[in-house]
Amino acid sequence: MRRSLGRIDRRPGTRRTGPPVTCRLPSRLGGPVLPDRPTVPPVTTRLSRRRLLAVSALATVAVPLASTVRPAPALGDDTVADDKAYQLAFTAMLDADRTVRRHAAPGREVLYRPRQVLTAPADAQRVAAWLRASGNPVTFGVGFGGVARLVFAAEADIPALVTKLRDPRQWPGAPVPLVQPHHVLLGLGNIMGNPGGPPRALAALPPPDPGRQSEGAGVTVGICDTGICRQAGNRHPQWLGGTYLPEVDDEDPLYVHTDVLAPQGGHGTFVAGVVRQAAPGVRLDPEAALAPTGVGDESMLVAALSRLSGEVSVVNLSLGGFTLDDQPSLPLANAVAAMPPTTAVVAAAGNAGVARPVWPAALDRVLAVGAVETDTAGVVVPADYSGRGAWVDACALGRRDSTYVEGRLPLPGRPTRLFHRYATWAGTSFATAHVSGRLAALMTGAGLSADAARLALLAAPRWHPDYGVLVG
């Protein structure tokens, strides 16, 4: 299921354009270029069919998967226990968060902000009148992303009210209003489903290959995530030093207290390192869209997208969430539709291990990325935690080694994990970051705009019907 991405002012429709597809990308696309003096490639915004097929063929020459990432470790008793402890810790954190509510109906599970509904501006007055007539006083809050926000005077069953508001029987002779909860989004490390594991400490990364500095040179990748560690450039000078402009509002707070890491403290720093490994010449624009717990919402993401530099051409969203009845997010659809047409948006398909769409990944203009892994024989297989379905465009290895932070991560009933700047972690977040980097590499290698590079990816055959095409 894909949803078309025009600005949503009325009920969004669907369109079928054939199966979305991607391809494997080249590792080496040119000689070295200094990162601080990048050569901006010529931009091609429209491709002839012959050009499209030629670029697609170029993109199928990939780095062998086994040469870049180690096979997933076998899940021994200690790993399973640590994964379970991490899940328990994250669940306890969500339960303690008074700004998050959980709707647990099977198949309709969703996290949302209490005492709020969002609606299209054209529908706001009649939705407010209906709510007040049903005994739910509301006032108008601050809207965002092209939607109006209604705030309740008291706690209410938001999913039940939205379900009624979407019922055509409530609106005889009138169109059904566009209305939704204010959905909570999550950073998509392995926290939303099997195996649901925490990061694991890693000794170090090898230095960047000087021969690959041209890959992504002149391209800026925006990363809307937990932000980035204040000392990321100093602690990882070879990988992150000089690649972004440090700003106070982009900093990831990282810690619950002292050196105790929040459940996803450092997630954005890890993602940044994965992007740079995939395209060592790119620059970055990190923006905070999530708390270090890994929790955010639609308004936080819309705000982060609005802060991205005008130089950003690829937007990495290693986050997402389910929506009530799997309807597309109104504010996120509007925010993505408002981006320049040459921009590419890449988003994670989630780690719940189901075919249910995750948003914003399932929006039509967004490149949705699932995860694969290698088995003990080195064969690439779908990762059982990955989101899947026809709405998923691409996939890549989900287990990555990358830049991380200093700190310790306590796990209930398990040994505390200690980190010293590097980690290995698995999830569709990190498959997504890799695909964002390889898009940037394709841009410089073939002289394409970001969206043209996305279309070139979508021109290749799918590796698997439910996972898109494998990006190496």
CA distance 62 to 53: 16
Evaluated on CA atoms 436, 439, 444, 445, the torsion sign reads: positive
- Model confidence at 152, pLDDT cuts 50, 70, 90, reads very high
- Backbone angles phi and psi of 258, in degrees to 5: 40, -120
CB 470 within 8 A of CB 463: yes
Residue pLDDT, tens place only, 382-434:
999 999 999 999 999 999 999 999 999 999 999 999 999 999 999 999 999 99
The architecture of the domain spanning 111-183 is 2-Layer Sandwich (3.30)
Shortest CA distance to 94 belongs to which of 363, 366, 293?
293
Mean pLDDT of 279-299: 96
The pTM for the full model equals: 0.87
Q: Which of 101, 109, 128 is nearest to 117 (CA)?
A: 128
Least confident of 43-47, 77-81, 249-253, 344-348: 43-47
* Measured CA angle at 79 (ends 430, 232), to 5 deg: 40
Digit-coded pLDDT (tens) for 157-181: 999 999 999 999 999 999 999 999 9
d(CA 437, CA 273): 10
**Rg of the chain, C-alpha, whole Å:** 22
| Position 67 pLDDT exceeds 60 | no
Contacts of 163 (CB under 8 A, 6+ apart): 324, 325
Grouping H, G, I as helix, E, B as strand and the rest as coil, residue 119 is: strand
Q: What pLDDT does residue 60 have? A: 38
What per-residue confidence (pLDDT) applies to 148? 98
- Which residues, including other chains, have CB under 8 Å from residue 151's CB and lie 6 or more apart? 115, 116, 138, 139, 140, 141
- pLDDT at residue 65 tops 50: no
Burial class (CB in 10 A: 0-12, 13-18, 19+), 410: middle
| Best CA proximity match to 301, nearest among 314, 278, 319, 324 | 319
Alpha helices in 34-123 (DSSP H): 49-59, 65-68, 77-96
The answer, yes or no, to whether residue 236 has pLDDT greater than 80, is yes
pLDDT exceeds cutoff 80 at 19: no
Location of each CATH 3.30.70 domain in the chain: 111-183
Indicate the average pLDDT of the chain.
Answer: 86
Looking at domain 49-89+187-470, its CATH superfamily turns out to be Peptidase S8/S53 domain (3.40.50.200)
Question: Looking at residues 129-148, what average pLDDT do you find?
Answer: 98
Amino acid, res. 404:
Y
- Kindly report, residue by residue over 310-347, the tens digit of the pLDDT: 999 999 999 999 999 999 999 999 999 999 999 999 99
Q: Kindly state the percentage of the chain with pLDDT values over 70.
A: 82
The number of CA neighbours under 13 Å toward the Cβ of 142 is: 3
pLDDT number for residue 424: 96
In our burial notation (b when 16+ CB lie closer than 10 A, e otherwise), range 454-464 reads: bbbbbbbebbb
Confidence of residue 1 (pLDDT cuts 50, 70, 90): low
**Whole-angstrom distance, CA of residue 71 vs CA of residue 397:** 9
Determine what percent of the chain is predicted with pLDDT higher than 90: 75
Q: Where in the chain is the domain with CATH 3.40.50.200?
A: 49-89+187-470
